[in-house]
Structure 1
Amino acid sequence: MKYLCLAYYNPEKFAAMAPADKQALVSQCPAKDAELKKTGHLVVSASLEGPQAAFALRPRGGKPQVTDGPYAEAKEMVGGFFIIEAADKDEAVRVASLHPAATLGESVGWGIEVHPIGFFEMTPSK
């Protein structure tokens, strides 16, 4: 089964960090990411631009209306996502726990939300 893992953070807390503290935190990520890749369970991984670059589509009068900013207002924002392959919830927890957001960045609200995927299809790139 595949699982969508949403990596969250608090943009205000992250922005308030001293540059040296940010560097110290994010410099730990490549090794953690490499651990996750080595499991063979990683299907795809990506980081997202900040909330200022996001936009939302909502139906209005039967047509999509575009608005700037994320869909929902929240203290935490999705900063990245990854999809893993795991046999069950326990394995999904073990694999997702290798992502940096599961063990680092507690002070800036890092965390992971894991969703089982009911339907998954890869579309070829253009």
Structure 2
Amino acid sequence: MKYLILMQVDPDVLAALNDEQMAAIGDGHQKFISTISETGEMLSTNALGDPAQSTVVRSRGGVPEVVDGPFAETKEFMGGYYLVDVESKERAIELAKQIPDAAIDGLALEIRPVMYSAGADM
């Protein structure tokens, strides 16, 4: 079953980390990617830009309207994700616990089952 592991980012938490801690996070993600690539569980991963770089399309009176920035004011945002193919929710949780963000107070990982997927990579 496919699961999306969403990385919830709090920019204040990241700003409080020193260079060594930030490097450890990057190294930890590379190790995690290598591990789940070797097991065949990783389908894809992407890091996302800051919400200030977002463009939102939403309906206003039944007509699509384009606006800059996030659609909701929030301190935390989705910073990226891992799409994994695992045998169970428990395995997805086990993998999420291995992501460096799981060991940093103020950051979170949300695990959500994929209900439908399509495309060349799927």
- The answer to whether TM tops 0.5 is yes
Unaligned runs of 5+ in 1: none
State how far apart, in whole Å, the 2-side matches of 1:19 and 1:25 are: 10
Q: What one-letter code is carried by the residue in structure 1 that aligns with 2:102?
A: A
Q: CA deviation at 1:6?
A: 0.8
Alpha-carbon offset, residue 120 of structure 1: 1.0
Distance 1:42 1:24 in 2: 21
- Fraction of identical pairs, as percent: 30
Distance change in 2, residues 1:66/1:123 (3 Å): farther
For structure 2, the 5+ residue unaligned runs are none
Matched, 1:90 2:90: yes
Q: How big is the alpha-carbon RMSD for the aligned residues of Structure 1 and Structure 2?
A: 2.1
Corresponding residue SS for 2:98: coil
Contact 2:33 2:42 in 1 (8 A): no
**Alpha-carbon distance, 1:54 to partner:** 1.4
Task: Tell me what 2:115 maps to.
Answer: 118
Count residues with an aligned counterpart. 121
Distance 1:3 1:21, change over 3 A: closer
8 Å CA contact retained: 1:5, 1:112: yes
